[in-house]
Chains A and B, each alone.
Chain A
C-alpha cells in the first residue's frame, strides 16, 4: 500500500505535485504506526516471557515435557501439533479451493456463479466457535464412525492411521481448519483466475488447446503467484486458529504419529491454560508460546506478501 500509490502515479507519467508529498507523508505515518504496534507487541511478549526464556533457554523449543505441577515446560508438542494440523489442512483444503476457484471463474454458468460465490464467501464469516461446536457434535462422531474405521481397517498398517480412534483428533482438527481456509483461498484464487487476460486464454484455445489444457497451461501458471499468496494467507489463518481447533483436537501434548490420535496446538494451549496459570514461570512459558506463534505467523504473512508482490510486478509488466 505504502508504495503502490506514489509509484502508481509515476507510472502513469503525471507530473509530481504537492499532493504526492502529502500522500507520501500520510503513507509513511500509517506504515510507521503499524510497525510501531507490531514492535510494541513483540516487545511486551519478549518482556513477559523473559522468565521462561532465561529458565529454559533453547531447550524450550525442543523439550516435550509440559508439566505445570512440576514447573517443567517445553513447547515442542505444541509447535509440532500446530505445524502438522495446519499443513494437513492445506493438503485437504488447497485442491478443493482450487477446484472451486476454477469452477466459479471459468466453468460455472453465470447463474450458478452468482449464487455460489457469495455462499462460499459467507463461509468465512461463520464464527469459529460455531464451527467448533459443529465439529464436536457432527464432525467428530462422523470421523470416528465413518472415516477412522475404514482408514484403520484398510490403511492401519501405516503409522499415521493407527488406532484407537476417538473422533477427537488431529485429522478432525485439520478438517475443521480446511473448512475455515477454503473461503479465503478459493476467493482470492478465483479473482486471480478472473484477472488472466482474455487474449491469452483465447490464444491458447486458438492454438487448438482443450479447455483443460488451456486451464493448465495458461490460466493456472499465470495466476500462480496470487494463488500461492492465497495459500500462505490460508496457512496463516490455520496456524493462528484457536477456538475451533481446541474444541476438536483432543488437547494432548504428545508427539503423535497417528493422525487419528489427539494432539495440541500453540493457540489452543494458551486459550486452555492462560486463565488459571497462577505461577509466574507457568505464565511466562505460555507467553513464550505466544511469542513463538507470533513469530511464525509473521513469517508466514511476510512470505505471502513477498510472493504476491512479486506476482503483481510480473502481472503489471504484461
Chain B
C-alpha cells in the first residue's frame, strides 16, 4: 500500500516537472508562456468544446479549460468577469444583455430536440406542433385520440393513457422545446410559456436527458423529449414533426442545419441583443422544427476582464475563429449540426469586432 502511494506521488511530481519544463521550452524568446483560456457554462455543448480543446491544444498549444456548470452559472460568471468566455444554450434575455455592456453572441453549434416515444407496435409516428402542445397541456390524454389518429392513419394506436415525460432539471433542452411549443400553440405560450424550467401542467420529471430517456424506455405508452444524440445513442423511436413548409421531418443533423440556414437572414448582428432569436419552426423544406443555436458569450473589448493580457486575448480570438471554421467538422460525429455558411459569415464579422483596449486583435490566419 505504502509503496504504491509513494510511487504515485513520485510519478505525479515527475509529470509536473516534465510539463513545467516543457512549457518553458516552447516559451522561446518572447513572452509566450503556455496560455490557458478559461470558459464556463452550458453542459449541452460540453462534449464538442472538450473535443475542440483537445484538438486545439495539439494544434496551437493553447489550453482551453471549460467547466460545464450550466448556462445559469456561465452567465453569472461572465457577468462577474471571472471567466474569459461564457456559454449558454439560450440567448441572453434583454435584462441580462443590458447588464453586460459590450457582450457578443457567437453561435458555436446547433442542436435539436427529438420527440421520443414508447409505443409497442407503432413503428412510425407523425405529430404536429399543435397536437404535441395539447399532449403536454394535458388536453390530449389518450393515444387513440382522433387528432393523433388523423395524422397516423396507418398506425394501430392503442387505447391507452399517454404518459407524459419531461425534464425536471432546468435545461436548455427544455428551453428549446418550450420555445417551439410556444411558437405553435397560443394556449401554450399563454399558460406555460418558454423557459429552462417551467410550471408543467402534466407529466413526470426525469433528471437530465438520461433521466427522460430512462423514463420513456421503462414506461410503455410514454412520450418525452431529449437531445437528438440521446435518442440516437439509446436506439429510441422518435417522431416526425410537421415543419413550417408542411412536410413531416425526422430530426437529423442536416435538418437542423437547414433550420439555421432558413432563419439566418433574420439574425441580428453579434453585438446586438439576441433575446428574440429563435430558430424553432424555421422556414425551409427540410428544416427540422425543434432546433436551436448554443452560444459562446465573449466581451467585445477583452481588456475588461481582470488578468487578461493581449497575448491571451489574441489566443482567444484565434481559437474562436478556428472553432467556427475548422472546429465545425468535429460536430457531426458528436451529433451536433455544423453551422451553415451564412451563420459562419455572421460570426466572422462578430469575431473581427473583438478588441483589446481598443486594439483589433484578429489577423486572419489563412
Binding site for B on A (CB under 8 A): 65-70, 136-137, 140-141, 144, 164, 166-168, 246-247, 250-253, 262, 264, 268, 271-278, 283
Contacts and interface: CB of A to CB of B under 8 A. Distances in A.
Contacts of A276: 70-72, 169-172, 196-197
Contacts of A136: 211, 214, 218
Contacts of A70: 193, 199
A91 B349 CA distance: 64
Contacts of A252: 200, 203-205
B105 to A, nearest CB: 15
Nearest to B73: A275
B75 A141 contact: no
B207 interface: yes
A248 B171 CA distance: 19
A53 to B, nearest CB: 20
Contacts of A141: 218
Given A69-B199, A278-B72, A278-B75, A273 B170 contact: yes
Closest CB pairs A-B (n = 10): A275-B70, A276-B170, A251-B205, A251-B168, A67-B199, A272-B169, A69-B195, A69-B193, A68-B197, A276-B196
Nearest to B205: A251
B171 A167 contact: no
Contact of B170 (A65, A68, A246, A268): A68
Nearest to B43: A275
Interface string B64-99: 000001111101100000000000000001001000
B113 interface: no
Given A250-B205, A276-B72, A166 B197 contact: no
A68 B72 contact: no
B122 to A, nearest CB: 20
A66 B204 contact: no
Nearest to A164: B161
Given A65-B199, A70-B199, A278-B96, A166 B163 contact: yes
A86 B222 CA distance: 29
A247 B207 contact: yes
Given A68-B196, A70-B199, A246 B71 contact: no
Contacts of B193: 69-70
A247 B273 CA distance: 37
B194 interface: yes
Contact of B219 (A166, A271, A272): A166
B203 A275 contact: no
A68 B199 contact: yes
> Of A68, A164, A271, A283, which is in contact with the most chain B CB atoms at under 10 Å from its CB?
A68
Interface in B170-211: 170-172, 192-200, 203-207, 211
Contact of A275 (B69, B161, B163, B215): B69
Contacts of A67: 198-199
Given A68-B198, A278-B71, 13 more contacts: A68-B196, A69-B194, A141-B218, A167-B218, A168-B215, A251-B168, A253-B199, A262-B204, A272-B205, A272-B207, A273-B169, A274-B72, A278-B96
Nearest to A140: B218
Contact of A69 (B69, B72, B75, B192): B192
A276 B69 CA distance: 9
Contacts of A69: 192-195, 197-199
Given A136-B214, A276-B197, A262 B205 contact: yes
Nearest to B42: A276
A276 B76 CA distance: 10
> Of B193, B195, B203, B214, which is in contact with the most chain A CB atoms at under 10 Å from its CB?
B195
B95 to A, nearest CB: 8
A168 B170 contact: no
Nearest to B163: A166
B138 to A, nearest CB: 12
> Of A67, A164, A262, which is in contact with the most chain B CB atoms at under 10 Å from its CB?
A67
A149 to B, nearest CB: 14
Contacts of A275: 43, 69-73, 169-170
